[in-house]
Amino acid sequence: PVFAAYAEGAVITDLDGNQFLDFSGGIGCVNSGHSAPRVVEAVKNQVEKLQHTCFQVTMYESYLTLAEKLADIAPGNSPKKVALFNSGAEAVENAVKIARKFTKRQAIVCFENAFHGRTMLALTLTSKVKPYKDGFSPFAPEIYQTAIPYTYRRPESLSEEEYVDECIANLHGFLKRTVTPDNIAAFILEPVLGEGGFIVPPKKFIKEIERICKENGIVLIADEIQSGFARTGKMFASEHFDLNPDLVTLAKSMANGFPVSAVVGRADIMDSVQPGGLGGTFGGNPVACAAALAAIETIEQENLCGNAISIGSTVKERLQS
């Protein structure tokens, strides 16, 4: 066990002075590096000016500036609006609320091996039973889980193309046998899964989900909480699939570990919720918003997407060998 004293860049120093390369990054939270200079400076400046008001009571600039930035860079082609919260799980729960309000439907479809959080609705969407779900039932209703292709673990008798086609056929069977599209409010998926294995779903499967959603008026939620902000060599993993989600959930490295999250989505969907239907005391705290703006600037100015591609290609080659 490592008990941290301080950290900088990718290195953690413990209480005994030992140094460790940090391969967890706070579970994907410090993609800009520990004590990133822009983030530290932004936080210091913001703390001296304004620490908290609750945005629903008294507004402030850093919330609006961050919302504008996220609307500009998040995946999706339509005009967007943004709501800020505290954690990834809270963003997921609010995305489901928004989808249900907009569609006036209840069912939510999620996928095996997924992780969406540990609050009760988010935990229902999460796949792994132990340690996350064991002993905490009953879970939220109208949640339906189905398989997502895991090509690395596919049957040896099938080619990758045959396996993906079979998975798509099984998905259509699921939509006949288990829950029908006209009852589904949303599909929620991680473009790259990071808990039940680091799983990159085939683009063909992802695009089929997108097509099903578009044809049936289903909200497509991309959970980019762990895969976003340069983790996969793109600002968002959705970009690898040319995915155009209706709602996107963000957190973790958005503020380089400071507690803030977001739902970014189509303006017409976001506007379907009544005033007061979304919010929270600490959501979009001014200090966390300042950290987020500085973290995004760090990713953009220091080409951390290119850095991720460079390191990733080296590591992938070594692991595959």
- Span 121-176, pLDDT tens digits: 999 999 999 999 999 999 999 999 999 999 999 999 999 999 999 999 999 999 99
Q: Do the beta carbons of residue 29 and residue 257 sit within 8 Å?
A: yes
DSSP per residue, 227-271? TTTTTTSSSSGGGGGT---SEEEE-GGGGTTSS-EEEEEEHHHHT
In degrees, rounded to 5, the angle at the alpha carbon of residue 34 between the alpha carbons of residues 303 and 89 is 90
CA 234 to CA 227: how far, in whole Å? 9
In this model, does residue 86 exceed pLDDT 90? yes
Residue-level length of the chain: 321
Nearest to 312 by CA among 191, 231, 217, 215: 231
| pLDDT of 196 | 86
In this model, does residue 244 exceed pLDDT 90? yes
Q: Do the beta carbons of residue 281 and residue 275 sit within 8 Å?
A: no
In this model, does residue 100 exceed pLDDT 90? yes
pTM of the predicted model as reported, rounded to 2 decimal places: 0.96
In this model, does residue 293 exceed pLDDT 90? yes
Q: Do the beta carbons of residue 250 and residue 283 sit within 8 Å?
A: no
Q: Which two tokens stand for residue 116?
A: 């969406």
Which residues form the catalytic set? 115, 223, 252
| pLDDT of 58 | 96
Which residues are within 8 A (CB) of 132 and not within 5 positions of it... i.e. 6 or more apart?
A: 115, 118, 123, 126
Q: Which helix (H) or strand (E) holds 184?
A: strand 184-189
| pLDDT of 311 | 94
Confidence of residue 245 (pLDDT cuts 50, 70, 90): very high
Mean pLDDT of the 95-109 span:
98
| pLDDT of 1 | 83
Confidence of residue 79 (pLDDT cuts 50, 70, 90): very high
Mean pLDDT of the 287-316 span:
97
CA 119 to CA 88: how far, in whole Å? 10
CA 86 to CA 96: how far, in whole Å? 16
In degrees, rounded to 5, the angle at the alpha carbon of residue 105 between the alpha carbons of residues 99 and 109 is 70
In this model, does residue 281 exceed pLDDT 90? yes
Task: Give the CA diameter of the chain.
Answer: 63
